[in-house]
Chain A
Amino acid sequence: MAPPTRAEIEADVALPFSRVEIHDGAAWVNVSADIVSIEDVIEATQGGDAVGFGVGIQPSLSIAIDQAAFDIAWEYRPVRISHGFGASSDIRRFIGLLTRRGRGYTSGVWQAEGWNVLISKTEIRSPLFRNRPVAVETTASSIDDPASVFYTGGLINYIFWQAGGRPYEQEATYPEAVFYYSLQPALMSPPFSWTHGENAMEAIYRCCRATGGVVYQDTQGVMRYIEPFSLADADPTFIYTDNKTNLGERVALNVGNYADISEDADIGPAVDTVICPFVIRQVQGVQEIYADKTPRLIEAGETITLDLDTSLPFVSLGTVTHVAAFPNNARTATTAQLTITVVSVLAQRITVLLANVTGSLIELFELKATGQPLMAAEQSTVTYTAASGRPYARDKTLEDMPLVQSRAYALRLCRLYWDFYSQPRPVVTLTDCGFDPDRTIGEIVGLDCAPWGYVAVPHRIIALRGKATGALMDVDLSPITGLPRRRDYYIVDQAYGPADVRKVAY
């Protein structure tokens, strides 16, 4: 038998190449020559919560650079990483923003984060949505532009759009979007939903916790909302195996190997009883919703813009009135002399233009607005409990969520949480898998593990951690057996045959 050739030896240990590009404000610039290594962490959840409803996570990247990169402008610059093999084209692995630089004498490191860092810093105020799913499915034809009169997007759609995102399905229409997002339809619609200038990313996570669902940035840099029933609704097409395989077998069987496996199963997130508080919101009659007695001088011919922030969201705006006078002759200024134009109405903000159309100075003494406020009424809790088979029960009280506004809604949420969290979902870590850019967050893969008795047991990829060598990566999985699946339920606008049997959901 002839000794192995170098080609044969190297064929099993192919190193990927990486392309690192930074946007300089005009175009993407390839800086790969100045990059030493890359370690990335792409996750869908963390903290032992393998399901991850509304878990606030973001991808992160650590890029080792050489001295030549010191002159590259990095502050908040978009960065994108792609990987390929040999002469192949590359596959996008990460898009985000550079947020830190550390350096020593002749080397340094960039830290990059996902779009979370941009979205969370964007101050967003929304209209008051009524009976609207928090996430409306994005498609090639969905209307996600809030300026459209046909807009039907939910709160998550609205926040992403206002932060500069555009639907991934409409990438061709918006080639210069800051980032892209892709949303599945949310299961539940709160009676009222809105955001008023809080941390926008936290508002999105709160929507996920109030409706079930996961938001994360995938390896393409797309912000994704996955509704709960889709988390486990796929069959594995790739298997991580502990069987000995060669290249040909790995390609033919679509399998990959791992060097080691570990599992961490924490009873922490598991529940027997779910308790959910709710607050009923009531629309009140027309009353004063804003009053401001700050004196203001408005010069002749001047127009000022004021944002009137109400303490409560309001369903409808009545009137906006003022008390104003001409200080020079003590006469009242009428609304024909100091005109009021309402330019925008959001859930808790009215933007008005006040125009002094006279030739004299006007002093504004008081500004009032009336409308129908949305007030908190009855507060209570609901409970759902079912046997888990454990010797001791575990209770979980969900946080106070403004979007949970009825008893029926709270009960649905309790059932949802119980179905997904009644059993502990371990995090399975596969160590030192071969680097594989085809693996994506949320993908359903099979797992073989002879000592555990596993044969192609379906799992969901919840984290991918590339190593600095570029050759290997760690993969976190979570088993999906027993989770509700979309295929098992009647789906609105789908067709069924006369013999079909399906479940009905929350």
Chain B
Amino acid sequence: MGGLFAAYEDSQGLPRNVAVSATLINVYRSNLQLIDRISRLGRHAFQGGWGNPQERGGVNPYREWWGAFRVVPGITGITFVMRATGFISPNDRLQLYLDGVLHHSFAIAAGTQTYSIGLPGGLSVNQVVDVQLNIARLGDLPEITWDAIFELRDGYVAPVQTSASWPGVPSFTVDPFSTVISGDKFDQLADAIDYLARQIGLRTEPLYQSLIRQTGPFEGQDTVRWDGGTVRSANVDRLKAFGLVIVFNSAQVEQVRIFINGGLADTYAVPTTIGEHSWAFDLDVSGYALDSQLDIVIDHVRLAGGGNDEGPLNRFTLYRVFTEQTSIGAIGYPLPLEINAAYGIVYFISVLAALSAIADVLKARIDASPDLWQRQRLFRRRYAYDDKQNEWYEPGMLASRFGREGEVLFVKGKGLTLGYGSIAWEEDATKLNEVGLYNFTALRQESIADGDAISTRIVYLDNVEGLFGGVPYHVRGVDLNYAAETMIADVR
């Protein structure tokens, strides 16, 4: 087993009237350590969108964003955070389609808006629902102009909630006269740990769509731009982003920039040396208010040089944007109990009390970060305006996981392959694909959804030989509707 949960074992209560098991208590301890570790994970930022209807040739309605989500226990609604300027209300509508059916339509208001819509009934757990946001202008009005800008900042379903009930944590104390080693309290502690595992086990991380664009061609324009968002959760204090620039034209003076809530947060000066250059941002976001939305824009701008519309053009790639936690203080764990070692009742109870207190701390930590543990970000489909682009860009734009964490991968689509290991390029210029990219194959790749029809598949990652925890992998396919990794395959 290779996911982060590989070391987790069922937290069993203790049978009555039997010798107390050091092993089972040590399992409580190791499970709590694992939950502690996982509860420190940040998450990937939502992959949103930025656009203007004119970029789609004035098509009305046009697809602004597309993706999907998987139904998990507890969710009742879908939420979008967006910003819009230049639209006319109520004619200009944002239309929410679920599995191709119009579910909701609302007028696009100016400024930053948050829309939460209830999900339809009849959804079943593990069902993958396609989501599409269209922008439409209704009525007899002229086309939406270039002045209208729509930015999608966040999208998620919530509340993700395990069906288990929080039992509270037991109180282990030494009575001055007579202390009972209570089986009910062990049951309660085991149930508490199990609850925590179930809740964080629902963590679902969509695979990240890579974004590859040519830069330019005009000076002073950020023609490559990525929009998304995340939330400043408790203990999340770093925002990180990684990508690549390939310089073909040394005359161009360019920057990669990152903005948070409209303010320039950092820049990366693109070298003028021909070749590949990695860029990265690592920002302290601890100063932002807890639970506040962080709107993120990453763009690539040509400041000077290279002329207008003159090639060759450089190439920008974004890999991932995510948050991390670095500031949580360490929890002190009691030493593991040794089998057949003798302990005084006072020490023994202190061990149990410490474990109980740790479970309480972890519960509070998880509750304090609903964005991390009670929301499931939507998966974004390929950055493509239409189906033709979707097919063109398939060879170069992958949905990637930068290190396996979970036990199971849910996918929806057809003709999908999962690849990992080294990449082999077909270095033959005569065999470039339609968009001018070399074809490649992964050292290991296997079909996970055949090409006949769109279907939802569950891939148990332990069954993929060699895909150990931490190994990056990707999913390829033109019709990739959804790919997301979830922490545990089954409710324990």
Contacts and interface: CB of A to CB of B under 8 A. Distances in A.
A binds B: yes
B343 A501 contact: yes
A494 B345 CA distance: 12
Given A131-B12, A498-B177, A504 B21 contact: yes
Given A283-B490, A285-B490, A504-B25, A185 B9 contact: no
Interface size class of B (residues with CB under 8 A): 35 or more
Contact of A504 (B17, B348, B460): B348
Q: Interface centre among A189, A227, A372, A378, by most B CB within 10 Å?
A: A189
A254 interface: no
A173 interface: no
For the residues of A in contact with B, the DSSP-based class is: loop
B348 A185 contact: no
A484 B340 contact: yes
Contacts of A186: 15, 18
A504 B343 contact: yes
A491 B21 contact: no
B339 A504 contact: yes
A489 B181 CA distance: 11
A137 B126 CA distance: 40
Given A284-B460, A408-B9, A187 B21 contact: yes
A285 B124 CA distance: 14
A365 to B, nearest CB: 24
Given A495-B179, A495-B180, A506-B339, A500 B345 contact: yes
B141 interface: no
Interface in B190-238: none
A492 B20 contact: yes
Nearest to B12: A131
B388 interface: no
Nearest to A485: B19
A285 B458 contact: yes
Nearest to A409: B23
Contacts of B178: 495-497
Interface in A163-222: 185-189, 191
B316 interface: no
B37 interface: no
Interface string B153-183: 0000000000000000000001011111111
Nearest to A188: B21
A285 B23 contact: no
B121 interface: no
A390 interface: no
A493 interface: yes
A131 B342 contact: no
A186 B18 CA distance: 7
B182 A493 contact: yes
A489 B462 contact: no
B139 interface: no
Contact of A502 (B26, B183, B343, B458): B343
B41 interface: no
Q: Interface centre among A186, A489, A493, by most B CB within 10 Å?
A: A493
B67 to A, nearest CB: 23
B18 A191 contact: no
Nearest to A500: B345
B181 A494 contact: yes
Q: Interface centre among A185, A285, A502, A504, by most B CB within 10 Å?
A: A504
Nearest to B344: A501
Given A496-B181, A502-B343, A490 B348 contact: yes
Contacts of A286: 126
Nearest to A384: B339
A492 B181 contact: yes
B341 interface: yes
A377 B345 CA distance: 39
Given A497-B178, A504-B21, 8 more contacts: A137-B17, A377-B1, A377-B462, A412-B23, A497-B179, A504-B338, A504-B343, A505-B20
26 contacts: A131-B13, A185-B16, A187-B18, A280-B1, A284-B489, A286-B126, A412-B21, A419-B340, A489-B19, A491-B181, A492-B15, A492-B18, A492-B19, A492-B181, A492-B183, A492-B186, A496-B345, A501-B343, A501-B344, A501-B345, A504-B19, A504-B338, A504-B343, A505-B22, A506-B23, A506-B339
- 5 nearest CB pairs, A to B: A505-B19, A489-B19, A504-B22, A490-B20, A283-B490
